[in-house]
Amino acid sequence: MRGAAKVPIRAEVIARAAARLAGAGVAAPERDARLLYRWAVDLDGAALSAVLSDPATAPEIGRFERAVTARAGRAPVSQITGVREFWGRRFRVTPAVLDPRPETETLVAAALAGPPVRRVLDLGTGSGCILLSLLAEWPQARGVGVDISAAALEVAASNAISLGVADRAELVTGDWCAGLSGQFGLIVSNPPYVAAGELAGLAPEVRLHEPLEALSPGGDGLDATRRIAAGIGALLAPGGRLLIEIGPRQAAAVGRILAAAGLAVSAVLPDLDGRDRVVLVEI
């Protein structure tokens, strides 16, 4: 009589998955394998560490292995788990929106470094990570998030509810500044800025799984920035600020675009890696 198959412990299951992810070219296979196992068993990092020597159950192995298969196909972890941490909060993520990135926290930090405002406008809001983070930090503020994608706005609306700021966030379908009225003490945007010639060099997680329209407008990557610069003149309140995320080699070109619209760059702010990441305009 043949003996029963040995039940693997969780650490073994994770190690095998990490090896598989490494073979698929995933940049941080051990980290991603642990993140996906945490999601599969609904445990935080400390709790998982405490039970790594326990036997893995068949249901959790099945859920984990489906997630690993998706990650080996280079689906982003956030799209597999459906969430991403950003500015200390959890945001829902789907293929309809960009994965909130640490670089974009540079823009949030810059906004919060200035005086609080009553009204915030977020152009191309996507998941809402910028606007909703600011509203959560500024309980007196109200905001408008604009996006041309109805699917993206649905994600932003669900994030607004989960963060408890839905009553102060107006999410509208729109094409950048077109049709907007009123004035805002702060305007923020993470527009598509990847040049057409750079798309092929993006990681598969980005190039194959994130919405192209949120990554690149084509050409030199700056058409959306041009439209924002041309349209915000009547929307930015006296004494207000504009913060736009840029690519690391675009500061000079964006400065020229803003100057042509009568706006002077006050500062170019670096991200945590020291790369140019956010342009600040103060009027």
For the chain, first and last CA: distance in Å?
A: 82
User: How far, in Å, CA of 17 to CA of 32, rounded?
Assistant: 9
pLDDT of residue 45: 74
164 token code pair: 């408890």
Residue 171, Cβ density class (10 Å: 0-12 exposed, 13-18 middle, ≥19 buried) = buried
pLDDT of residue 7: 82
| pLDDT averages per 10-residue partition of the chain, 283 residues | 72 98 97 96 88 94 97 97 96 97 97 97 98 98 98 98 98 96 97 97 96 97 97 95 98 98 97 97 94
User: How far, in Å, CA of 101 to CA of 60, rounded?
Assistant: 29
Same domain, 275 and 207: yes
Same domain, 147 and 235: yes
Same domain, 187 and 267: yes
pLDDT of residue 5: 64
Helix (H, G, I), strand (E, B) or coil at 77: helix
pLDDT of residue 4: 54
In a domain, 3, yes or no: no
- Residues 182-197 have pLDDT tens digits of 999 999 999 999 999 9
Same domain, 268 and 202: yes
Cβ atoms of 39 and 80 within 8 Å: the answer is: yes
In a domain, 252, yes or no: yes
Token pair 């000079």 is found at 252
User: How far, in Å, CA of 2 to CA of 67, rounded?
Assistant: 32
Half-sphere exposure of 210 (CA within 13 A, CB side): 24
- Residues 200-210 have pLDDT tens digits of 999 999 999 99
Q: Give this prediction's pTM.
A: 0.93
Of 147, 246, 243, nearest to 194 by C-alpha is 246
**DSSP H stretches of helix in 90-128:** 105-113
In DSSP terms, which residues pair with 244 in a beta bridge?
189, 279
Total number of domains constituting the chain: 2
Q: Which residues contact 71 (CB under 8 A, 6 or more apart)?
A: 21, 24, 26, 32, 36, 77, 80
In DSSP terms, which residues pair with 279 in a beta bridge?
244, 268
Same domain, 64 and 87: no
Whether the CA torsion 23, 28, 31, 36 is positive or negative: it is negative
Domain hosting 49: range is 10-73
Helix (H, G, I), strand (E, B) or coil at 221: coil
